[in-house]
Amino acid sequence: GEDVEQSLFLSVREGDSSVINCTYTDSSSTYLYWYKQEPGAGLQLLTYIFSNMDMKQDQRLTVLLNKKDKHLSLRIADTQTGDSAIYFCAESENNDMRFGAGTRLTVKP
């Protein structure tokens, strides 16, 4: 089946940039998403990108898409302790959505 893969853990120091990477296999993906999940909570949509774009910036968040390599990344600038959470990459074609396993971001003071 189609897969979405991301590394499980990332640890950074407060103030540094965080880069969370994701790869996917479905070449017909139309949307790619980044979701944030804080402990005990549901998913919060952080940002999404259309497959015909290669970059999207929203305040401290930068999404880069390399469609040829099927690689998606999320950069968080000036990472804060409040950014500690699990970040899920997801891709979809129409409404059929597939998630990665999530990357647990730990921000150290």
Partner 1 sequence: GAVVSQHPSWVICKSGTSVKIECRSLDFQATTMFWYRQFPKQSLMLMATSNEGSKATYEQGVEKDKFLINHASLTLSTLTVTSAHPEDSSFYICSATGFGANVLTFGAGSRLTVL
Binding site for partner 1 (CB under 8 A): 31, 33, 35, 40-45, 48, 88, 92, 95, 97, 99-102
Q: Which is nearer to partner 1, 24 or 35 (CB)?
A: 35
Q: Rank residues 41 and 53 by Cβ distance to partner 1 and give the closer one.
A: 41
Burial bucket for residue 43 (CB in 10 Å: 0-12, 13-18, 19+): middle
Please state the closest distance from residue 40 (CB atom) to partner 1, in A.
Answer: 7
Q: Which residue, 14 or 56, has its beta carbon nearer to partner 1? A: 56
* Residue with smaller CB distance to partner 1, 24 or 33: 33
Q: How far is the CB of 15 from partner 1 (least distance, A)?
A: 28
Cα–Cα distance measured from residue 106 to residue 77, given in angstroms and rounded to the nearest whole number? 14
Give the phi and the psi of residue 78 in degrees, each rounded to 5: 50, 60
Distance CA 82, CA 12 (A): 12
CB 44 within 8 A of CB 88: no
* Shortest spacing between CB 85 and partner 1, in angstroms: 13
